[in-house]
Amino acid sequence: MPPAKSDDKGPALILTDQPFDPDDEKNRGGGDCESGSASTPDGQQNTNSPAGLEIIEATAKTWTRPWIVSTYVLIWIVFFTDSLQQQMAASLLPYVTSSFGFHGLLATTSIIAVIIAGVSKPPLARILDVTGRNQGLIIMLVITVISLIVMATCGNIQAFAAAQVFYWTGMNGIGYVLSIFIADTTTLRNRMILFGLTTTPYIPNTFAGPAAAQAFLEGSTWRWSYGTFSVIIPIICAPVIAVFAFHSRKAKKLGLVSDHGQGERRTIWQEVMYWAVELDLVGVLLCAAGLSLTLMPLSLANYQADKWRSQPIISMLVIGALCLVAFLLHEKYVASKTFIPFALLKTRNVLVACLMSGNIWISFFCSKLFFSSYLQVVYNVSVSKAGYIVNIFSVVICTWAVPVGVLMRWSDRFRWLAFISVPIWILFTGLMLKFRLPGTNIGYIIMCEVFTSLTGGTVIQVQQIAAMSAVPHHEVALSLALVALGTAVGGAVGQSISGAIWTNTLPGKLRGFPARRVEVRLGRDLRGPKCAVEI
């Protein structure tokens, strides 16, 4: 796809600059990008690209500056709505699990949801490349709406947990599709600025989300929060879908899109088998089952009579390990198309970005999953105030995202940001070991949260640009999918560790205190019908 000209007939502000060229970067002494596949310019059209990629490359030629700016505004509104719902859900989740009498299963429900949402990214990237961005957005929207309806009407924790899996798959999928569209229509130098702008809705919603959650709890029930957004989200996404469809049809009318597979007709069974092979559904299922069954026992063992010796726990661990082994064998010897593009992992930037992503989210979820409950019990703060403190990470990284993108744009480099951020991140993460002990002023905890958020947010930006800078345009979606998969695995591991501590270690520690002291510390307000914490 050639870049648009600098006139009023194309989105020149976004598309005129050439992306980072790795070799040119090295010649200037930067050395941030790796040569190889990255030597293909980010905007270059791939002659062997799938139909979906050809559609987006052809459609990009039909955009005018007013249209693309308007679309970015619509996308920002979608991110705003989704982030508001996510912030509300995060504050309500302890109350949901407690209403069913299973607050300790908070980790378990989150683990499965995060894993499925993560492993769905590579297949989703393939769907986007084969069918187009708009089709992927519609699929993710349908999944999100159905899951919200199920969560609003569920009668037990099992139904809610199942809906959570589809909810995070759909919600993260919507954000992923829109991020890929931004990557399609921006150059690498400008991309992180646009990515940063899409995170700014989390700044106001950090405060609006917990407050809205408390309003739902006091005015009605947590169910209405999910039901309300099952109507709002489709309305907000509809204009974006309409704009995408309009420009896709416009490209076809102008003859910019060729007919793929004209005359080729498949039966329903052939269609099912085609997508099963194309998406490597067997590999997806084996990977998801293996990770879930291996990590879930960490938070479930305490609910069994024999703890770790119980047959269900042992069975889950054994079957999970076997599924992971079967997954590796399947990807190596059986799958004609693997759902994880292992060839991309040979690119150093992509591999390091995935490892960094997993490491960040292991660290994050080890302490954050039950952080709200901890603050409400130990510091006796309200739901909204606990939500504000928990969401410091979100508001800081979103506030800092655009300046980081500007720094990358200004310096043409990104590695130096990681060199500065990682040591500071390690320092303040370590200080939490001291400052979160009993008797510590809550201000020290807030200070550590701010600094770890600043540095962690910088590293997140660096890993994304590192992955995208090392691949040509037709592999950008897959590179971001791999980073998302690393995020999912890291998040699942972190939540498993957190859940294991909460369900296995914390009860024993509490039993070491006098019963009256524990009773007073918990407070009667947390033991009523709307309890947030149950120990």
What value does the mean pLDDT take over residues 513-522? Answer: 52
Q: Domains of the chain: which residue ranges? A: 51-258+268-279+339-526, 280-338
pLDDT given at position 530: 45
**Alpha-carbon torsion angle 467, 468, 469, 473, nearest 10:** 140
pLDDT given at position 178: 92
Q: Helix 383-390 to helix 442-469 angle, to the nearest 10 degrees?
A: 40
Instruction: Check residues 262 and 392 and name the one with the higher pLDDT.
Output: 392
Q: Which residue has the tokens 């198309």?
A: 337
Q: Rg of the Cα trace of the chain?
A: 24
Instruction: Check residues 78 and 348 and name the one with the higher pLDDT.
Output: 78
C-alpha to C-alpha distance for 49 and 234, rounded to whole angstroms: 31
CA 520-214-376 angle, 5° bins: 30
Helix, coil or strand: residue 376: helix
Confidence of residue 102 (pLDDT cuts 50, 70, 90): low
Poorest-pLDDT segment among 74-88, 110-124, 425-439: 110-124
DSSP-assigned letters across all residues of 511-523:
HTS-HHHHHHHH-
pLDDT given at position 424: 92
Per DSSP, which regions of 454-521 are E strands?
none
pLDDT given at position 9: 39
Closest CA to 434 of 421, 447, 424: 447
**pLDDT tens track for 457-496:** 898 888 888 888 888 877 788 888 888 888 888 888 887 7
What value does the mean pLDDT take over residues 143-166? Answer: 87
Structure tokens at 100: 């069913």
Confidence of residue 2 (pLDDT cuts 50, 70, 90): very low
Confidence of residue 106 (pLDDT cuts 50, 70, 90): low
C-alpha to C-alpha distance for 251 and 263, rounded to whole angstroms: 21
pLDDT of 216 > 80? The answer is: yes
**pLDDT tens track for 226-283:** 999 999 999 999 999 999 888 888 877 877 766 554 446 777 887 788 888 877 888 8
pLDDT given at position 305: 59
DSSP-assigned letters across all residues of 106-146:
HHHHHHHHHHHHHHTHHHHHHHHHHH-HHHHHHHHHHHHHH
Residues 1/7, Cβ–Cβ less than 8 Å:
no
**pLDDT tens track for 356-373:** 888 888 888 887 777 877
pLDDT given at position 218: 82
pLDDT given at position 64: 80
Confidence of residue 174 (pLDDT cuts 50, 70, 90): very high
DSSP code, position 502: I
Structure tokens at 122: 């590579």
Q: What distances in angstroms separate CA 516 from CA 265, 335, 523, one per listed residue?
A: 73, 60, 11
Poorest-pLDDT segment among 22-36, 114-128, 182-196, 311-325: 22-36
Structure tokens at 512: 């070491």
What value does the mean pLDDT take over residues 291-301? Answer: 75
pLDDT given at position 14: 40
DSSP-assigned letters across all residues of 137-180:
HHHHHHHHHHHHHHHHH--SHHHHHHHHHHHHHHHHHHHHHHHH
Q: Phi and psi at residue 344, in whole multiples of 5°? A: -65, -30
What value does the mean pLDDT take over residues 1-7? Answer: 37
Residues 491/361, Cβ–Cβ less than 8 Å:
yes
C-alpha to C-alpha distance for 288 and 111, rounded to whole angstroms: 11
Is 107 exposed, middle or buried (CB count within 10 Å of its CB: 0-12, 13-18, 19+)? buried
pLDDT given at position 232: 94
Poorest-pLDDT segment among 36-50, 137-151, 177-191, 304-318: 36-50
Per-residue buried b or exposed e for 384-402, using 16+ beta carbons within 10 Å of the residue's own CB: bbbbbbbbbbbbbbbbbbb
> In the CATH hierarchy, which fold is given to the domain comprising 51-258+268-279+339-526?
Growth Hormone; Chain: A; (1.20.1250)
**pLDDT tens track for 5-35:** 333 333 333 433 333 333 333 333 334 443 3
Q: Model's pTM, two decimal places?
A: 0.74
Residues 470/425, Cβ–Cβ less than 8 Å:
no
Instruction: Check residues 516 and 143 and name the one with the higher pLDDT.
Output: 143
Is 467 exposed, middle or buried (CB count within 10 Å of its CB: 0-12, 13-18, 19+)? buried
Q: Return mean pLDDT, the chain.
A: 77
Q: Which amino acid is at 126?
A: R
pLDDT given at position 304: 61
pLDDT given at position 515: 55
% of the chain at pLDDT higher than 90 = 10
Structure tokens at 57: 């490359």
pLDDT given at position 260: 54
pLDDT given at position 148: 92
Q: Which amino acid is at 433?
A: L
Q: How many CB atoms lie within 10 A of CB 510?
A: 14
Structure tokens at 137: 């957005």
pLDDT given at position 240: 92
Residue 189 — left, alpha, or beta (φ > 0 → left; ψ -120 to 50 → alpha)? alpha
C-alpha to C-alpha distance for 214 and 62, rounded to whole angstroms: 46
